[in-house]
Amino acid sequence: MNSALIARLRDDLAAARYGVETLTALWGVEADAGLFRGQRVPALRGLENSVAPAARLARAFVLGLAVERGALEAALPSLGVDGAIELGLVELVEGSSDAAPVLRPLLDLRPYSFVDAHGASEFTIASDLGELALGHAIPPHHVLGVGGASMTLSGLMIDEPVDSVLDLGTGCGIQALHAARHARRVVATDISQRALDLAALNAQLNGIDSIEFRLGSLFEPVAGERFDQIVSNPPFVITPRVDGVPAYEYRDGGLVGDALVAQVVQDAAEHLAPGGVAQLLGNWEYRGGVDAFDRLDGWLDGTGLDAWIVEREVQSVEQYAETWIRDGGTRSGTAEFDRLYGAWLDDFAARGVTRVGFGYMTLRMPERGSPTLRRLERLDGPLGNDSHGSHIAATLRAHDWLTTVGEEGLADARLTLAGDVTEERHYWPGDEHPTVMTLRQGGGFARSLPLDTAVAALVGACDGELSIRAIAGAIAELLDVDGGALLEELLPSVRELVLAGVLLSPAE
């Protein structure tokens, strides 16, 4: 890794204002959306008449187009073309004329913006060129840039200060870079040396020096070590293990079915410090009519971990096969697509798999004693807009508070209604009383919770002044029912609302 050259590249990118705002100003929001869909024509048209350094850089390193030496030299004045060749950013196109040499980009290099606990910021991320820039299917050793799953995990990442974070399967290093913003030290591992090299380039390019990169499979590079936080977007894609089906390193860990995800879940227990949290993405199979949650329970049993699993999506095996064959760059309607499709269906049939779930896993090593949290749920609606990491951390704290407070303590607690909650009422036309009442959470996991009259009245009265017991007593009088019985009936709902972040404990 040539640190001096990377520093010069960093200076050039800063001078060119090579950032999301600059590029969007050049090509417009529709071009941004087009690129997300894998279409580059709108972006290309937006850059057509610009000689701005950022436009020249984007043409080469986002759209993957060859660039004349003079134009690249102008865009990278400090690094220079020779430096760019040495860094592996470009190579000379063979046969281009000596008078006007042309260079071909070898890497994707693009700005990426985000918001975390420290506010809005950007990284510049180098990765391998994608299918769009290459013009053909990506090779098996492709190092992925920041994709949808990467952003899902980074958006879920708890970003409260910790000492150590492990990013397992770091790829271009995106999760490690995020983690470095709230951790004193980060260890990033991958089975691919090329991924680690790119991740190290990205760390330096973004001025981060607290990440240690280690080569090896799964937890091998951190044997015997424990971390305060583990994050992993592991290679969870289920792929048939037969000749002729390509295995892409970035998405496929080489085990049968969902065994790799099961292994990461089970091995995480040995690498979490007390109180440490692992946040993972994963796929899981529904086999032979058995609910996948039963299988997930089986993975978790005996680990000693608290677990909160949110299933976001379930696909039929047919949809799943189509998604991942297309992701590998094989177009539907071709004989190759049909051959791979058959292999996927054979593989699923061999294990009796009918559907595949996708979701988020939050695992925690209890500070002491046995696990107290085992929550597996399905939430397939859009998420709220605020920080999901903060929401996950608050949910874990709410769970702990509920565990310690007991029934009597909960009844005596003075809870507050969260600021992002609204109530919806639906009426039959002309009716005085609502037929359906629902609480809607604006942030967090944007839950929608059904209400009855008593719970609606209770939620509305939670202003931190009155205890749940006092509120239940007042509601019982209004409804002319027994106060003790109503309190008993309401407490499970109160628990659920505290865990969901709708009612805030005094600790929040």
Ligand X SMILES: C[S@@+](CC[C@H](N)C(=O)[O-])C[C@H]1O[C@@H](n2cnc3c(N)ncnc32)[C@H](O)[C@@H]1O
> Which C-beta is closer to ligand X: that of 12 or that of 128?
128
Q: What is the per-residue binding string for ligand X in 110-149, x denoting contact by CB under 6 A?
A: ----------------------------------x-----
253 counts as binding ligand X under rule CB under 6 A:
yes
Least distance to ligand X, CB of residue 171, Å: 3
Span of 227-235, 320-328, 363-371, 464-472 interacting with ligand X by CB under 6 A = 227-235
* Minimum CB distance to ligand X, residue 388 (Å): 15
Of the candidate residues 128, 249, 258, 285, the single one contacting ligand X (CB under 6 A) = 249
Which one of residues 153, 418, 455, 487 is an interface residue with ligand X (CB under 6 A)? 153
Question: Contact between 279 and ligand X (CB under 6 A)?
Answer: no
Whether residue 282 contacts residue 358, with contact meaning beta carbons closer than 8 Å, is answered with yes
Among 9, 125, 203, 218, binds ligand X (CB under 6 A): 218
- Token pair, residue 313, equals 């999506």
Task: Establish if 170 lies at the interface with ligand X (CB under 6 A).
Answer: yes
The DSSP element (H or E) to which 358 belongs, if any, is strand 353-364
When asked if residue 250 is in the footprint of ligand X (CB under 6 A), the reply is: yes
Q: What is the dihedral of CA 300, 305, 306, 309, to 10 degrees?
A: -40
169 in contact with ligand X (CB under 6 A): yes
Count of residues near ligand X by CB under 6 A: 22
Q: At what angle do helices 483-500 and 468-479 cross, to 10 degrees?
A: 130
SS3 113: strand
Is 385 a binding residue for ligand X by CB under 6 A? The answer is no
Residue 489 CB coordination number (10 Å): 16
Among 35, 125, 157, 195, binds ligand X (CB under 6 A): 195
**Shortest Cβ 261–ligand X spacing (Å):** 12
Report CA 200 to chain centroid distance, whole Å: 21
Q: Is 150 in the site for ligand X (CB under 6 A)?
A: yes
Asked if 357 is part of the footprint of ligand X (rule: CB under 6 A), the reply reads no
Nearer to ligand X, 38 or 492 (CB): 38
Does 192 bind ligand X (CB under 6 A)? Our answer is yes
Q: How far apart are CA 482 and CA 472, in angstroms?
A: 10
CA distances from 387 to 155, 162, 184 (A): 7, 17, 21
Q: Which residue lies nearer to ligand X by CB, 22 or 283?
A: 283
Give the residue from 182, 185, 139, 144 showing the smallest Cα distance to 164. 185
Interaction between residue 235 and ligand X (CB under 6 A): yes
Question: Which helix (H) or strand (E) is 198 found in, with range?
Answer: helix 193-205
Shortest distance (Å) from residue 198 CB to ligand X: 9
One of 158, 174, 458, 462 touching ligand X (CB under 6 A)? 174
Q: Who's near 96: CB < 8 A, 6+ residues apart?
A: 102
The CA-based diameter of the chain, rounded to the nearest angstrom, is 93
| HSE-up (13 A, CA, CB side) for residue 54 | 19
Q: Whose structure tokens read 């799943």?
A: 320
d(CA 508, CA 505): 6
Name the residues that contact ligand X, by CB under 6 A. 144, 150, 153, 169-171, 174-175, 189-192, 195, 217-218, 233-235, 249-251, 253
